[in-house]
């Protein structure tokens, strides 16, 4: 079955139904959950991250190391929040703290970039909202009053 999952994920980006994934979590099928955590649909990875406490310790450690490095921010942050209540090894706790600091720094950097860009674009005429200060609205009214030069047909 594990090989079928590998083949399925190499050919398709499929989402496993939640009741099947829940059954795998309850039956502690760690090998299958690892495949889903590495290559699966993001909603399946979020569900695994939420259900980490119900797994045994070895499965928790394996899945936390995989899901912690997930490129989707929501999954990584969910695993960080869930793992705060678990008893983990010291090196894994250190990696979790480092990843949490990394996501906070990235969020702060993006916020700083947004502020910098808003200052740059603030006074540019093409950045203004349409009809924001009435200036473009007045220009549109003046253009509507002018007669259209359609030429002579007769």
pLDDT digit string, tens, across residues 42-62: 888 999 999 898 888 888 889
Let me know: does 99 contact 81? Beta carbons within 8 Å: no
Per-residue pLDDT band at 99 (split at 50, 70, 90): very high
Residue pair 54/26 in contact (Cβ under 8 Å)? The answer is yes
Q: What is the pLDDT of residue 152?
A: 63
Prediction pTM value: 0.66
* Average pLDDT taken over every residue of the chain: 82
Distance of CA 138 to the CA centre of its chain: 42
In angstroms, what is the C-alpha Rg of the chain?
27
% of the chain residues with pLDDT over 90: 21
Mean pLDDT of 114-133: 69
Helix (H) or strand (E) holding 22: helix 18-26
């Amino acid at each position: 079955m594990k090989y079928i999952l590998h083949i399925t994920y190499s050919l398709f980006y499929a989402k496993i139904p939640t009741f099947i994934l829940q059954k795998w979590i309850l039956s502690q099928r760690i090998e299958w959950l690892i495949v889903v955590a590495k290559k699966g649909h993001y909603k399946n990875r979020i569900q695994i991250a939420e259900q980490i406490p119900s797994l045994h310790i070895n499965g928790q450690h394996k899945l936390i190391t995989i899901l912690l490095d997930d490129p989707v921010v929501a999954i990584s942050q969910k695993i960080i929040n869930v793992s705060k209540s678990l008893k983990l090894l010291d090196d894994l706790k250190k990696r979790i703290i480092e990843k949490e600091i990394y996501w906070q720094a990235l969020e702060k950097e993006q916020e700083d970039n947004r502020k910098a860009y808003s200052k740059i674009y603030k006074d540019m005429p093409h950045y203004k909202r349409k009809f924001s200060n009435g200036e473009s609205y007045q220009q549109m009214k003046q253009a509507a009053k002018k007669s259209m030069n359609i030429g002579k047909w007769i």
